[in-house]
Structure 1
Amino acid sequence: MPKEARLVRDQLEQALFTLPKDPQAPAIGLLIEEAIEVALEIEFTNSVPPATAAHAKDSPTGELVMPLSYRVVDLASGGAEPPEHQVDGVNSPEAAAEKALGTRLFRSGRKADLRARVYFQRPGMPLSMVRLYAKAIKPD
């Protein structure tokens, strides 16, 4: 079931970023985003094995620090099923995308510049997703 949910989620993401300029587009976009959230919940419910202390490192404060694994979805490839890269040993979604795709990406941007989605999950927290863009939007 998680693989089918991922395919549905990827199709919903494509639909979200290819909505035509239309007065109803914002309302449709909100519905698609809600459907994406449901697909994410289905995809990752019980599909991520619990982290174990064997994979933990001791921090300077004596706490156990769980290493994060990032899943980078390459949206620049343009295929029906975008390639995914598993990245470990980095400290941010941007660093994971740069390591996987070889280019620097930003958290803000225009829909046309969307290049990747990066998924990660901190221990005890829900799954997080960051969209990364080729060009940053500069604040006015």
Structure 2
Amino acid sequence: MKTKVIVLADNAETTPSKLFRFLNSLNYDINVKETCFGAYIEGEDDVVDEVTNIVRNLEKNKIFCKDRGFPIWDKRRCRAFRGGGPREGFHQLEAEQRVLNKIAEALDEIEKEGILPMEKVDEEKIEKHKLDIKAFIKIIDEELK
């Protein structure tokens, strides 16, 4: 038995409810739970892996999947059994989800332009200078907005 977390990038056209309906329309023996960031799917290992591949191809580079250590409705993690509040790890997942649109854009760019192999990078042409910590913080803050 395997459980996967499916997380949608902010710039994905698929919504959690569309994803939920799509997953339930598939003819696979899986359990599906809609979440605010996407969905959980659960089933036999090979079935979950196959469904994961189908889902990721809906919007390549904008739908991300990872394993979840607990089954859906696990009493140790589910808010319904713990009296509410965010589950352990939710804030980490929330932080990860916020940067997925940047990762999606980078993956799209790599597919379009390709990756320059390191052996073809002319090290002498790369500008090397120290970046002021305040400038670095400003760049990070602007990118996370």
TM over 0.5: no
Report the TM-score when normalising by structure 2.
0.25
Q: TM-score, normalised by structure 1?
A: 0.26
Which entry has the higher C-alpha Rg, 1 or 2? 2
Instruction: Choose between structure 1 and 2 for higher RCO, CA contacts under 8 A separated by at least 6 residues.
Output: 2
